[in-house]
Structure 1
């Protein structure tokens, strides 16, 4: 890792993002090579059919991928790009975006993220994402 980033420091970075505060995101896991971001479901985050909005899933994947990449590249990173595949409607109490680094160089990290809904009946993967995180100078 370029610089030591702790879970507490990573949480401060997340809290400094106004949009993350609006969504109610929290970083519950952060270590070298992985990050876990959670968002509790509330009415304001649903789409017209009562499912968690795809934009919330996409935001969560983007941020979890970036935190995972930053865990190996350092704090100065941006998402270079990512794709997301929606598998099924997102229903549950909490969205858990679980990202990990697949491979990295000095400047880029390839990361994957499983988006899992947690509810009364357990856990269910609802989407998956893959992206490239790039270190900026």
Structure 2
């Protein structure tokens, strides 16, 4: 992975107000992959103390888009995605890891696994798949 693409990804991430609001961190990038994490805190939980599904969905969407954008080598947008919640998310940290599995000139199909982390233990709490498209500069 070139330093330019890593810096490009980090620059985009830093410019996302919602990511900053959640306290999210872009912790790893590759040629076609990305990892984003959020520290658990009370404001991100639902009434049962689990991490809110909206936070998990945000992580999936953003990680998918970063993985797809890196695979497409530029700015990208989510065209669609689907998420399956496997179990309630309880943990100190939530981590989303996404990878592009098929890339064409204009789009990337990506998968994402979301884990709840306690110490060294990771539990899979959700999986997602999405189609990411190169951003149309004309819009």
After the TM superposition, which residues 1-137 of structure 1 pair with which residues of structure 2 at under 5 Å, given as runs? 4-6=4-6, 8-120=7-119, 122-137=121-136
Structure 1 Cα separation of the partners of residues 50 and 95 of structure 2 = 15
Contact 1:11 1:26 in 2 (8 A): no
Runs of 4+ off more than 3 Å: none
Gaps of 5+ in 2: none
Q: For this pair of structures, how many residues does the alignment match? A: 134
1:54-90 residue CA offsets vs partner (Å, 9 max, x unmatched): 0000000000000000111122210000000000000
Q: SS state of the match for residue 5, structure 2?
A: coil
RMSD: 1.3
Give 1:9 deviation, angstroms: 2.9
Q: Normalized against structure 1, the TM-score is what?
A: 0.93
Structure 2 Cα separation of the partners of residues 121 and 47 of structure 1 = 24
Structure 2 Cα separation of the partners of residues 12 and 54 of structure 1 = 27
